Amino acid sequence: MRVFNFNGGPAALPLPVLREVQEEFLDWHGTGMSIVENSHRAKEVAAMATEAQNLLLELLGLSSEQWAVAFCQGGASLQFAMVPLNFAPQGTVCDYIDTGLWSSKAFQEAKICGSGARFAASSKDADYTFIPSQYDYSEKPQYVYLTSNNTVRGTQWPSFPTGAPGPLVADVSSEFLSRPLDLTDFGLIFAGAQKNVAPAGLTIAVIRRSFAITGQTGLPHMLDYRTFIDNDSMYNTPPVFAIYVAGLVFKWLKNTVGGLKAMEAKNKAKAALLYSAIDNSGGFYSGTAQVGSRSPMNVTFRLSDSSLEKPFQEEAKKEGLVGLGGHRSVGGLRASLYNALDLDAVEALTGFMAEFKRKKG
């Protein structure tokens, strides 16, 4: 029996995609081999990767003349270093907007890499419960960095800063392809694929070509974005299986869901149902993020009696509701409502929450 998977990542994948993977796993596209056995130099694999890149740009509404897709490895955590290594060499300044664990980690990596990283804003003093709206920018930063959705703290940028003095760069891992994004002011976005797109092992960077060419030269090849762009992400052996699954997810988003606007509507409906259950619980449940900054992807909450949080998870698991523990750094509870999770999963969760409150409240 399949459970309702609320894990923060690796997370649920669309069931039609999993079934397609299962059906063609032993003989992929008539090659007589599994996709995991095919060479990344095979023409069929190269065509699959190119199609995935094109589908992604189409979903994002971007032109291949202006934007490039890089299929990378190392997770979003390696991007924390690649960004400053490429675009903020020693002697330059880059601004970071601190909204939680992952932006803080990215900032520390930038400092290690020798860049003049500084905070333009932070919500740390308020326990990262909101997205800042006032910024103290440097005069000419190489870029302005943000984390668009904060998995740990359950906050999301409702809209991005305008008028920043440098190109925006964002880690969009935990909301990637969950809604349309206006990338007008961006030079680069990146995402670990294991939350909304594919199995762990693939990291996707979407880079404005005019921004990529401003990167410093002389870097190790695998840390230079131009290596990925110039070699169609085939400089070394990429995570072929994860790229394949990502391509199937892109097709699902386009052909079954109907694009990112339709996906956003589904995600808003799921989040509205869960936040309503929390807000109307009479204080038995309470959200941890301020209302104007709440994430539709990662709903973080606590119980008025924290000693009930472990029993809550244990009883939920018995009902087929798994992955509801908060991040290890903050505790509490969290329900991740990624794209592949349907409304019926949230209905099951809110029904369980009502029953748990009836028994324990």
Judge if 152 and 301 occupy the same domain: no
What are the counts of helices (DSSP H) followed by strands (DSSP E) for the chain? 10, 14
Residue of 67, 95, 195, 266 marked active site: 195
Residue 3 in any domain: the answer is no
Task: Give 131's pLDDT tier (boundaries 50, 70, 90).
Answer: very high
Domain boundary among 235, 257, 279: 257
Residue of 28, 95, 98, 102 marked active site: 102
Residue 216 in any domain: the answer is yes
Residue 1 in any domain: the answer is no
- 171 is annotated as an active-site residue: yes
Residue 67 in any domain: the answer is yes
pLDDT tens, residue by residue, 64-93: 999 999 999 999 999 999 999 999 999 999
Neighbours of 134 (CB within 10 A): 6
Amino acid at 9: G
Question: What are the φ/ψ torsions at residue 69 (nearest 5 degrees)?
Answer: -110, 130
**pLDDT over 90 at 329, yes or no:** no
Judge if 124 and 144 occupy the same domain: yes
Domain containing 338 equals 259-360
Judge if 169 and 96 occupy the same domain: yes
- CATH code for the domain in which residue 272 is found: 3.90.1150.10
pLDDT tens, residue by residue, 136-191: 999 999 999 999 999 999 999 999 999 999 999 999 999 999 999 999 999 999 99
Residue 282 in any domain: the answer is yes
Give the C-alpha separation, 177 to 182, whole Å.
12
- CATH code for the domain in which residue 57 is found: 3.40.640.10
Judge if 153 and 283 occupy the same domain: no
| pLDDT at residue 361, as a whole number | 81
Judge if 57 and 154 occupy the same domain: yes
Residue of 28, 67, 98, 171 marked active site: 171
Judge if 287 and 252 occupy the same domain: no
Judge if 332 and 238 occupy the same domain: no
Helices marked H in 163-308 — which ranges?
209-212, 225-230, 240-251, 260-279
Q: For the purposes of burial, counting CB atoms within 10 Å of the CB of 136, is it exposed (0-12), middle (13-18) or buried (19 or more)?
A: exposed
pLDDT tens, residue by residue, 258-312: 999 999 999 999 999 999 999 999 999 999 999 999 999 999 999 999 999 999 9
Judge if 98 and 197 occupy the same domain: yes
Number of domains into which the chain is organized: 2
Give the C-alpha separation, 190 to 228, whole Å.
13
Judge if 183 and 270 occupy the same domain: no
